[in-house]
Every structure is written in C-alpha cells, then in structure tokens.
Structure 1
Amino acid sequence: MKRREFIKSVAAGVGGLSVAGTRALGAAAADKPLRVALIGCGDRGCHALLPNIVTSGMAEVVAFVDPDGRAVARARGCFKKYRPEANAEAVAAFADYRDFYKQMAGGVDAVFIATPNHQHGLPAVLAFRNGIHAYVEKPMAYTVEEGRRMLAEARAGRVVTQMGQHGHSNEGARRLCEYVWAGAVGQVNEVYCWTDRVNAREQPLAQDSACPKDLDWDTWIGPAAWRGFNRGLHPVGWYSWRGFGSATIGNMGNHIIDPVFWALKLGSPESVQLADFRSGAEGSWGLRDHIVWKFPKRGDLAPVEMHWYDGLKGDLHWDDSTWTPGTYKYIVKKEHQNLPPKVVEIEKKYGVDLGRCAAILIGEKGILCISVFGESLRFVPDSLRSAVPPPPKTIPRIRGSHQVDFMRACLGGSAACANFDYSQPLNEIVLLGVAAIEEGSGKRLDWDGKTGRFTHDAAANKFLTRPNREGWGLS
C-alpha cells in the first residue's frame, strides 16, 4: 500500500468524522501527514511517544522542544533510528515552548506533550489557542483548577485531545466494562486500587550544583517557584518532589483508576479523605498514602467507596533494601508494599496473586481484577469466569497504539478514546487525592463537583490551584 493510501485508511478509523477533527482536514488533509511537534524529549517522549509517532506513517515530525539540549540530541537519534532515510537535523529545535508557538504555530497540526507534570497546562492551552491538537501525558493537569481550564480551552478551540493513560486503548479495560454492564458481579460497592510505585524520597535532596551548559534551567522550572539546579530533580527525580511531581497517585492513578471510572460510571465524588500517610524528606511526597473517595448513587448504580494504597508498609526505609534493583528507584518489592488489607485477605482466601499494580471491584456475585494498564481481566474466584456468559463486545476497539488513536482523530476519524471530555473528570479524581495529601489533616473533605469547591472547608480550596511564576501563567 502506498503511503498516501495508508494514511487515508488509518484516518477512516472505526467510524465517521469527529467534530474536533475539522481543522485537521483543512491544514492537514487526510492525504497528508500530520505536522507534529514533540514537547518534552525526555524518557517518556523519546522512548514511548516518538517511536509510535514516527512509525505510524501518519505524521511528519517538524519540531523538538526541550530546555535540555542533550534531550533534543537524543530525540534526533531516536528519530534517525526509526527513520534512517530522513534528515533528523532538519527538524527544528526549541528550548522554550513559548518561542516554539510564536515561531511555528502556523506550521504545526498537533503536539505531543511529555514535559514534567508541572509543565502540562500552559503548552496545552497555547496549542488550543492556536487551533492545534494536543496529546498530553498523564496527569493532564497539575491542579483541579488547571484541569478545568484546559478542558474549557480545548472545547473553545474545537481541537482533538487525548490524555496519555494508554491502557484506555487496551482490550482488558473494555472487557471489564462489558462484564460489569452485563451484571456479571452485580452491584459494586467497594473498589481497591494499589501500586508498587513510590514517588517519594526518605533522604533530602543534595546541595544544588552548577547547571549543565546545555540546559536552560529557568525554562525547565517554568511556572514553578524558582530554585537552583539540582541533579535530584533532573532528568527523572522530579517525580518525587512537591512543586514538580504529583505524588505517587499523580503518577499512576490515571492508569489504575481509569478502567474502574469507566466501568462504574463514577463521575464526580462526594468526598475525599487522606486515611493514612507517612511523610518523606522535606519537600518530598509521602512514603505511604491511603486515600478514600466516596461516590453517590448514579442512576441504578449503587454508591461506591474507592480506596487507593501506595508506598511502604510499616516503618521500613526507602533504600536499596526495599526498592527493586535496576529501576529508577521508585518500584517497591512486593513483600514491602503497602497493600490493601482486603487484597491480602482475598489472595490468601483464594490462593491467588493479584499483582503489584491493579484494581479490584468487589461485587455482590464476585470480584473482578483489572491489571495496571488495562491489559488483562481476572475473575475471583476463577470459577466465576465459566459461570458468567461472555457479554458481546459493544465498545469500539482501538486499532494501533493510543498515540495512533489520537492521530487518527486529528485526521478526521472517530473522537480519540481518552479525549479530555472523558479524561478530565478522571484526572480530577486523582488530583483531589493529591489535594487531600497537600491539605494533610486526614479529615473528610466534602466535594461539590458542580462548583469545583470543597464545601465545608474553605481553607482546603487553596490546594485546588497554585500560583504561577511571572510569565508562566494561564492568562
């Protein structure tokens, strides 16, 4: 198949044209590749997003944006690996995405944003104001207020959006929904989510040091409060520190909660509470979190209490003895993991291992367990699987990767499956958990989803937003 014919077939997708895809059919017609820029050329950008973009046959990479020149060089190398015939040096490069938009907005159709968490909002909003589609890594926003603003701006710009919880494109998440909607386990009242990630540190950051000459540190800091360069923050350590990362739940919550949110049609919670917390070093996120949300009745669906567990159990140290070797020192060994007691009980009762990262839905007739990225669905007890007739596959399946799904929508295909209309309410649940950690009292915080405010604790509302450094705000 010729390249032009291939792109046309991919753009056709699984249905008709999406309303948001109309700009793409003008500036980037279905017989032309999308002009794409990668904003954030670190680990996620280079190793997950860029290969999918380059090998899709749907896109032309026109710009790399990153304040670290070394990251841009790696992006060029990755591009060359997958497109050896292309001239990687011809791809434009920028340190500051504000400059990129000023100079190239008219020559770009879509951006992929894989910056550190604190820099997701502004580059996305600038894209929307220029009529540019945006794929934004999870969490799509840094605060509740920012997420709502991003959704409003995306709608106003009539652009295609996608949040990067890539498991939403997987088969297991769809089968979970179809089994739950068919009544396989009856009403679900309890949900437990857990992860083996620990995005925190027990020891403080080392002293600041001289900034590498290829790094524009002021641009890397962006909207966050100014501080000096520290190797514990860049290139990967920022996950663990307040002001840059979003706690462990901010890293993994959108992945693990997503299939539950979808299957149970959770919508907005009525409350959130930090039930347990173990602090880390000063400025670090916690070494252990237990968060509880309560969701009201939704039509015929029963109220749900959802629990989130992460971190270390007991008073164990977070060091070489507890983290998994060969990682970025943020994955805990299962024997040291802060697992939900209910999960431990179920594993013992049924002789099963439900994994280190997953969610369980406890229903009237049995238990469903969905894996971290929505790949696989398990029944507990296993005999439940044969007792329940397989429901029909009613949800459209995604052909290709999560990134291809986004680009297909940009080319006029069906709406991206994890677009902001779906993903912003999910991300808000996660960020309410982060706000509960920030608030820190451990008391129940009642939530009004319509107004976007905590109702009985005005002081807690300050954790729904953040001040932005001058020149980096969402004006």
Structure 2
Amino acid sequence: MTRASGEGQRGRLSRRDFMGTAAAAMAAVTFVPRHVLGGPGNTPPSEKLNIAGVGIGGMGQNNVRACESENIVALCDVDWAYSADVFKRYPKARAWKDYRKMLDEQTDIDAVIVATPDHTHAVVAMAAMQRGKHVYVQKPLTRSVHEARMLTEAARKYKVATQMGNQGHSSEEIRMLCEWIWDGAIGNVHEVHCWTNRPVWPQGIDRPKDTPPVPDTLDWDLWVGPSPMRPYHPAYLPFNWRAWIDFGAGALGDMGCHVMDAAFWALKLKYPVSVEASHSYEVHQMWTRFENKETYPSAEIVHYQFPAREGMVPVKLHWYDGGLLPERPADLEPGRRLPESGSIFVGDKGKILCGTYSENARIIPEAKMRAYTRPAKSIPRIEDGPGGHEQDWVRACKGGPAASANFGYSGPFTETVVMGNLAVLNPGKKLEWDGENMKVTNDEEANAYVRPAFRDGWSL
C-alpha cells in the first residue's frame, strides 16, 4: 500500500505531548474505523489509490480515464500497438503485457480495472483478488455461470471492493424505475420483455480458414488465455471477439447486463427455474442448413421463468436480439416507436416502457403517466454522469459503502444473463435449472457450457 505524499515525515512527539494526546484519545467516545486510519487492505479517503488497468485498448481506456483522480501506476495489454495512445497518456505508469507478472512484480498496486475480452475476465480478476486487490470488471462479469460464481465467492472471501462495469446501475433512472415498481405503479409485474439491436458484428459464421501471421506487437498466446488455442486471425480482435463462443458472450452477454438490469433489481430476481431459446440459422447454397458451432446466432429469443420471491409473483422474462422485437403494446399511442434497445414491464395494472439504461421510462399510455403520483426517493443516489460508476467503486475501495454493482449483486445477475446462452446453444429445449448447484437437471449434455474447460496451464 502506498502512503500519501509526505506521510512518515512528521516531527516526533515529546513524551508530554504523547501522554496528553493519548489521554484525550481515551476520553473520547468516538470510534475511528480502521479504514479511516489506513493499514493493510484499507486506503483512507484522503489517500489516492494506485490503480492498474488490464485490457486498456477498448472500453478499458475509458474506465481508466474515469479514475484519473487516483494514481494510474500500471497498464497492461497484450497488444501494445492497439493500446499505444493509452500508454502515452500515462507515461509514469509501468507497462506490461502479462498481468500475472504485473501482479507478482509490481507490489504498489491497490486496485485493478479489468476490461479484457470476456473469456479472460475471470482469470485476471481472480488473480488480482487473491492478492488483495480491489477489482472493477467490465460487463459481462464473466463468460460462464461457473466463473461468475467463483468471482462472487472470491470477493466475499478476500473482502475486496468490487464493481461490474454496467454503468447504468449507478444512474438516477434505474433507481426511479425500481421505486415506481415497488410503489405498485403497474401492480404485480408478471412479465418483462427486453431487447437490443445487437449484434452489430458478424455472427452465425464459421471459423476462418486462412492463417495470417501474428502481428509483432501482439502476444497471441496471452490473448487466447484459458480458451482452446487456435490460429490468429483479425476476425477475432480487436472487436469482433464477442461473436465467438470461445471468447465472448454474444449480444446477450454484451447488452443483457445493461438492458436486463432494471428487471433483475426491481423484481428482486436471482436464479431462473427454467430457460429455453430459439434462434436464426444460416444456410449454404441449395438451402443446406449450416450447423454453426463457432459463433452465436445472428438473432435469438430467450425465455426465462422465475419463481415467486419476496412477496412478488412468478415472472417470465423474454430476451430478443438481432433485430427481433416483442409485440408492440396495445397501450402505446400511434406514432410512438419502440426504442432500438429497451424493456417493457407488464403488470396487472399497466405497463412501463423504457430504453437500454432505463432512460425515458414512462408508464404507457402517457395519460396514465401524467396521472401517476411519483413516490419519494428511497434508494440512495450515486453521483451520475461520465465516470460516476467508476468513482462509486473508488469510494468503496477507500472504505465507503459497497459499490452499487458489487459482485454480490452482479455475480448472480451475470449467472442469469449467460445462462441464457446455455439455452441458445441448445435451442428448442426447455432446460430446467438448479441455480444453487449450477446444474441443468433434465439434460446432462447442456451442462458443458456451465463450466467450459480451461486450456492446460490456466485455472481459477
């Protein structure tokens, strides 16, 4: 732990001064929390965190920039050409390619931002937490159910501050929507429809056949990480990896942690009891079906069933992507369009329509919205706007309240999101799910995706 500048340079107290100070301290009745004093694993609010970024070329550079109020001491990426501008922005930060060497050799790191592709989220975050580092991990928290459970349990074990990078969870809008639903604005919610316009990258495709050379600046072995090795190809990186089953979580993993967030929070969801899916498929010439086993499909629908919980009725949640949409609500006035990504909450007394991050939430039709008396705010607010989600985590690292999307919340949430991909990979089947034991109970073959095998040399 690195101390604030100047600490350790104060003058020594005389014995008289010390005794007087000690007596005053004994007479005081105010308890000073350990996190205020500092010490191992605790950074006082007055000190700056020493933060490392792993996977900084894409969204990671925005996460790092949102934490510039702290000390950016280390930057790690497997492709230094792709990340060159970020390294230039922080010339004092040590540069690394292998996060394992960084964590072993650079001992001044307090907290780590993880924004690598989905398939390496878990191994990087786990390595950091095992060393007592706080972690911020981009969404989806992990690619698989098992990885999400392991990170949730590790955060609890190592007592570190955590946050998943679904920034809408820190917004005013999602809190307002939760308060409306808990106020009974539309009665008992028994159904939710969530959708996105993603993917905006190629899906439903086969593995490329050509094998171009690996760029000199890229460590391909580290990029592949725990997934099965394959030849390098620009079809995978720097962006389109989301499509590939070995590397990403598809449109559902990418946007589900945004669009489904309000439903998961407001309806107090945890594990579904069943999930089923259907999807589009590609064809070759002569209308021969292409059995794709490399990428997620170009469009899909997933149906989750949740049981009654905490006084709330059972609920069905439906997911649509690839341009598919739910049926237009009859309550929606002519001329109003569904957003490109959003949700519809269906209650026994009405409906709420909102956008991707719960923005523009309205009871429909508008006449019902105007007649509704909004409840008083009951959920603590977080400083909103750019960087607010990251700063929520920074405060937690310094001993403040747990971050809004800490792993205690975002771990089970991610399990539910990526559980949908298990159904997508087994279309036409209704998979019965034992969430506590992470097991499909009626189809043993479907359990393979719950805990995908790691390549030799990699583990949690």
TM-score, scaled to structure 2: 0.86
Structure 1 or 2: more helix by fraction: 1
> Which of 390, 396, 400 is matched with 1:409 structurally?
396
Residues 72-87 of structure 1 mapped to structure 2, 5 A cutoff: 72-77=83-88, 79=89
User: d(CA) in 1 for partners of 2:34 and 2:431?
Assistant: 38
2:311 aligned with 1:308: no
> Which of 417, 426, 430 is matched with 2:417 structurally?
430
CA displacement 1:229-271 (0-9 Å, x = unmatched): 1011111111111201111101100100001111111121110
Residues 375-414 of structure 1 mapped to structure 2, 5 A cutoff: 375-400=359-384, 401-414=388-401
Contact persistence 1:23–1:159 (CA under 8 A)? no
Aligned position for 2:153: 152
User: d(CA) in 2 for partners of 1:307 and 1:69?
Assistant: 41
Q: Secondary structure at the match of 1:147?
A: helix
Deviation at 1:409, TM superposition (A): 0.6
User: d(CA) in 2 for partners of 1:160 and 1:388?
Assistant: 38
Q: AA paired with 1:273?
A: E
1:406–1:245 distance in 2 versus 1, CA, 3 Å: same
Q: AA paired with 2:105?
A: Q
Aligned position for 2:56: 41
Deviation at 1:449, TM superposition (A): 1.6
Contact persistence 2:191–2:317 (CA under 8 A)? yes
User: d(CA) in 2 for partners of 1:20 and 1:261?
Assistant: 32
User: d(CA) in 2 for partners of 1:119 and 1:20?
Assistant: 31
2:33 aligned with 1:30: no
CA displacement 1:13-63 (0-9 Å, x = unmatched): xxx9999999787553322110000000121012x2122111xx2x10011
Aligned position for 2:218: 215
Deviation at 1:349, TM superposition (A): 5.4
Q: AA paired with 2:390?
A: Q
Aligned position for 1:66: 77
1:459–1:428 distance in 2 versus 1, CA, 3 Å: same
1:179–1:22 distance in 2 versus 1, CA, 3 Å: farther
Aligned position for 1:452: 438
User: d(CA) in 1 for partners of 2:354 and 2:441?
Assistant: 33
Q: AA paired with 2:302?
A: I
Q: AA paired with 2:435?
A: G
Aligned position for 1:264: 267
| Stretches of structure 2 lacking an aligned partner (at least 5 in a row) | 5-30, 283-289
Q: Secondary structure at the match of 1:255?
A: helix
User: d(CA) in 2 for partners of 1:21 and 1:418?
Assistant: 23
User: d(CA) in 1 for partners of 2:397 and 2:256?
Assistant: 27
Aligned position for 1:53: 67
Aligned position for 1:320: none
2:140 aligned with 1:139: yes
Deviation at 1:191, TM superposition (A): 0.6
Residues 16-415 of structure 1 mapped to structure 2, 5 A cutoff: 28-46=43-61, 48-54=62-68, 57=69, 59-77=70-88, 79=89, 88-104=90-106, 106-198=107-199, 199-204=201-206, 205=208, 207-279=210-282, 283-311=294-322, 337-340=323-326, 342=327, 344-346=328-330, 350-400=334-384, 401-415=388-402
Q: Larger radius of gyration, structure 1 or 2?
A: 2
Q: Secondary structure at the match of 2:82?
A: helix
Deviation at 1:458, TM superposition (A): 2.0
TM-score, scaled to structure 1: 0.84
User: d(CA) in 1 for partners of 2:242 and 2:168?
Assistant: 21
Deviation at 1:430, TM superposition (A): 0.6
Deviation at 1:141, TM superposition (A): 1.1
Q: Secondary structure at the match of 2:66?
A: helix
CA displacement 1:104-141 (0-9 Å, x = unmatched): 2x311110000000000011111111110000001111
1:444–1:28 distance in 2 versus 1, CA, 3 Å: same
User: d(CA) in 2 for partners of 1:20 and 1:151?
Assistant: 22
Q: Secondary structure at the match of 1:433?
A: helix
1:446–1:277 distance in 2 versus 1, CA, 3 Å: farther
1:39–1:309 distance in 2 versus 1, CA, 3 Å: same
Q: Secondary structure at the match of 2:169?
A: helix
Q: AA paired with 2:342?
A: A
CA displacement 1:441-468 (0-9 Å, x = unmatched): 4111111122221122222212201111
Q: Percent identity?
A: 36
Q: AA paired with 1:305?
A: K
1:51–1:356 distance in 2 versus 1, CA, 3 Å: same
Aligned position for 1:85: none
**Superposition RMSD in Å:** 2.2
| Stretches of structure 1 lacking an aligned partner (at least 5 in a row) | 5-15, 80-87, 312-336
Contact persistence 1:350–1:381 (CA under 8 A)? no
Q: Secondary structure at the match of 1:135?
A: strand
CA displacement 1:318-351 (0-9 Å, x = unmatched): xxxxxxxxxxxxxxxxxxx2111x2x34486544
Contact persistence 2:331–2:364 (CA under 8 A)? no
Contact persistence 2:155–2:162 (CA under 8 A)? yes
